[in-house]
Amino acid sequence: MGMKNKKAIEAYKLQSFDQKRQEKGAEQQVTGDEKTRPKPALPQEDHPAEGEIYRGSRINSILDTDGFFKTGYAHKRAAKLLLLLGKEQAAAVLKHLSEEEVEKVTAEIAKIKRIEREEARKILQDFGSLADKIAATPRGGIQVARDMLSSALGEAEAEKIIGKVSPYAENKPFAFLNDLDYQQIMLLLRKEPVHVMSIVVSYLEPRKASQVIESLPPEVQAQVVKRIARMGQVSPEVLSSIEESLRERIRTQGKVVAEEIDGQSVLADILKHMPLNDENRILESLEEKNRELAEHIRERLFNFETVLEIPDSQLQGFLYQYPDRDLAVILKGKSPELEDKVLRNVSQRRRDFIQQERESLGPMRRSEVDRITKDFLSFLRERAERGELTLDSDELV
C-alpha cells in the first residue's frame, strides 16, 4: 500500500481519537484555561519521516476498537476524504477497513451529492494533503460508492454492501419480507412452487435467506439451492407479480401468519435437521428449564412418520420385543403405510395374531390407546438416541 494511502488510514484514526475524547469527555479533568490553551507541537522525533508511518504511543492508543469509524460524524468526514482521494486510492484504503466500517462509510458516500470546493480544501488541510490540487467539485452517490467498492473488494462483494446500505434499498424486490421472522416467511412460501420460492429467497437479506433455506425439507432445500445457483436475470414483471401476491396474502391473512406459527413444531423441525449431539444438547438445556416442554418437543421429533423411516432390518428386531396386542392397539386407526410397515416386518404367524387381536379389540378409551402408542414411540426413540437404530433420512444417527 502506498505512502499516501497509509497516511490516509492513520489520519482517519487520529481524527477519531480526538473526536472520541471530546464525545466521552477526557478521563483527566482539565481547567477552562487548559481547554483554550494552544496544544504544543509534537516533538520532532514524533513526526513520521518520509516513507514511514508514525507509530508513536498516541497512534498505538487509537488502533483499538475506538477507531475513527465508530461515530456518525467521523464516517461522513471519512466518506468525503475518500471521494477527494479518488477511486484508486479510496479503494486501497477500503481494503484495510472492517466490514462494519466499509458499510458505514459506503452509506455516507451514497448520500453525498457534492463537496464544495472550500469544504474540500478544509478536509484536505486537516489531513495534511495538498489542498491546491483540487480541480473540480467532487461528487458522491450510489454509483461512485459502487465503483470504489468494486475496485477494492470485487463486484460481488460491492453489490452485497450496496444492497445493505443504499438509501434506495427499500425499493429492492421483496424488501418488505425482511421485516418478518423467517418462520413467517416460511409460512408464506410453503405452498409456493420451488421456482417461486427460489426467486424470493435469492432477494432476502443473506442471514434471513440462510435461515429459510436451513428450515426447508431436505429435498426442497436441494432444489432451491440448485435453482438459486443457476439463476439468471428475472423480469421485473415476474418479480412484481410475485411480490404483489405475497403482499396481498399478508394483508388478508396477516393475523393468520402471526398466529399460525407453532413454536414447538418449528423447533422440532429445526432440530430434525441438526446433528444428533447438537439436538440432545439443546433438549437437555431446555429440559433444565421446562421438563414438560422438552418432552413435547421430543414427541414431535419422533412420531409415526419417523417410524416409516426406520430400516426394515432394524425394525424387525424391535417389533420382536413388543406384545401382539400392543401392536394391534398401535395400528388402530393408523395409516395404511404404517400398517404395511409393521406387518411386513413380523412373521406370518404373528401377522395373523395381530389381525385377530385388532378384530377382537372393540371400542377402547382414547387415553389407553394414546398411552400404548406413546410408550411404543418412546421405546423406539430411546433406541435411536442410544444409536441402536438409524433412519433412512439420516435425520437421526
Mean pLDDT over all residues of the chain?
69
Q: Is 75 a member of any domain?
A: yes
Let me know whether 35 and 66 are in one domain: yes
pLDDT recorded at residue 34: 42
Decide: helix, strand or coil at residue 302. coil
Q: Are 87 and 93 contacting, i.e. CB atoms less than 8 angstroms apart? A: no
pTM, two decimals, is: 0.32
Q: Is 149 a member of any domain?
A: yes
Strand runs labelled E in the chain: none
Q: DSSP 3-state helix, strand, coil percentages of the chain (rounded to 5)?
A: 70, 0, 30
CATH number of domain containing 381:
1.10.220.30
Residue-number span of the structural domain to which 118 is assigned = 3-167
Confidence band of 35 (pLDDT split at 50, 70, 90): very low
Q: Using the 8-state DSSP alphabet, how is residue 70 labeled?
A: G
pLDDT recorded at residue 348: 92
Distance, CA of 56 to CA of 48 (rounded, Å):
9
Q: Which of 47, 76, 58 is nearest to 13 (CA)?
A: 58
Q: Are 304 and 335 contacting, i.e. CB atoms less than 8 angstroms apart? A: yes
Q: Is 336 a member of any domain?
A: yes
- At which of 167, 199, 219 does a domain end? 167
Q: Is 338 a member of any domain?
A: yes
Distance, CA of 286 to CA of 363 (rounded, Å):
38
Instruction: List pLDDT tens digits, range 361-394.
Output: 878 888 888 888 888 888 887 887 777 877 655 4
Q: Structurally, how many domains does the chain consist of?
A: 3
- At which of 146, 167, 188 does a domain end? 167
Residue 210 cell numbers, joined: 440462510
pLDDT recorded at residue 125: 67
Q: Looking at the predicted structure, is the pLDDT value of residue 2 above 60?
A: no
Would you list the DSSP string of 273-295?
Answer: TS-HHHHHHHHHHHHHH-HHHHH
Q: Are 120 and 83 contacting, i.e. CB atoms less than 8 angstroms apart? A: no
Q: Are 307 and 341 contacting, i.e. CB atoms less than 8 angstroms apart? A: yes
Confidence band of 72 (pLDDT split at 50, 70, 90): very low
Confidence band of 80 (pLDDT split at 50, 70, 90): confident
Q: Tell me which residue has cell 416442554.
A: 293
Distance, CA of 139 to CA of 110 (rounded, Å):
10
Considering only residues 139 and 80, tell me which one the structure prediction assigns the higher pLDDT: 80
Let me know whether 23 and 136 are in one domain: yes
First to last CA, the chain: 52
Q: Tell me which residue has cell 410453503.
A: 190
Let me know whether 123 and 180 are in one domain: no
